Amino acid sequence: MEITVLGFSNGLDCLDSTNTSLLVSTAQTSILVDVSGSPRQSLLKAGVDSLSLDAVLLTHGHIDHVYAFPSLIHSMWLQNRTKPLIVAGNDLAIGVCKHFFSYFRLDRKIGFEIDWKCASTKQIGDVQISSFSLYHRPEVPVNGYTFMADGMKVSYFPDSVASLVIPECALGSDILIHEAGGLDEDREEINKSHTTALQAALMAKKANAKELFLVHVPENPDLRKRMLAEAQGVFPDAFIPSSFQNL
């Protein structure tokens, strides 16, 4: 199993990255996690044609995680896709995408089936999936996911406040991917809806993960360096990825 970081920035995309989005892939299965930027172009850069994509997995319904959904479906229509597509997520995220789907009348165009599924979907292709609930904002439910395939375990904690209890499925992850909104000196403000770099590192240590990758990070390069140094102070194998990096 391989994880490709299609984008790692926060809600404000920037010169070196679009909003955070991941590709989970094996020899048999490809899953796009959240949909932002120019999804077909990003997938092509990662070596995946959107026609072969098996599923879209949504973490939550905020704009920077779902806004490119209609673009992805439209590109599939232009390519005459016939293969069914799984779209999984919580009720709010699915509801937003269904609204896009209807508003742009994609339901009248496409010649393939969309299989809408709940976030608790256990398996897509040969990838086993465990979902867990996180706190981001009261009105926006968020789901994190653990992926297992080919003897590898990867856990993804999207937009959320640091969890006091590590989900059991995430323990012992080879890679823990966690959003980080800033430095711990700004914890009071950041913890209204996000996690500090230090908190993410402490969670990786508590989860006994092998590596930590910070995503959904701010644009400021100096702030990123300080965040990474803060995380590495307690968890040395912490990194901020680059766009299209394979983890």
What are the φ/ψ torsions at residue 57 (nearest 5 degrees)?
Answer: -115, 125
Q: Is the C-alpha dihedral spanning 177, 181, 183, 185 positive or negative? A: negative
- Count of residues for the chain? 247
CA neighbor of 147 nearest in space, from 109, 165, 173, 167: 173
CA neighbor of 10 nearest in space, from 229, 218, 225: 218
What b/e sequence results for 27-58 when a residue is b if at least 16 CB atoms lie within 10 Å of its CB, and e otherwise?
eebbbbbbbbbebbebbeebebebbebbbbbb
pLDDT number for residue 139: 93
pLDDT tens-digit series, residues 130-185: 999 999 999 999 999 999 999 999 999 999 999 889 999 999 999 999 999 999 99
Q: Residue 31 in contact with residue 21, Cβ under 8 Å? A: no
Q: What is the pTM of this model?
A: 0.97
What is the CB neighbour count within 10 angstroms for residue 108?
7
pLDDT tens-digit series, residues 92-134: 999 999 999 999 999 999 999 999 999 999 999 999 999 999 9
Residue ranges covered by each domain of the chain: 2-242
SS3 call for 165: coil
Taking residues 204-232, what's their average pLDDT?
98
Does CATH number 3.60.15.10 belong to domain 2-242?
yes
CA dist 137 and 155 (Å) reads: 21
SS3 call for 218: coil
CA neighbor of 146 nearest in space, from 175, 117, 118, 182: 175
What share of the chain in percent tops pLDDT 70? 100
Pairing between strand 245-246 and 238-239? Answer: unpaired
Secondary structure of 100-133 in HEC code, one letter for each residue: HHHHCCHHHCCCCCEEEEECCCCEECCEEEEEEE
Identify which has the larger pLDDT, 19 or 163.
19
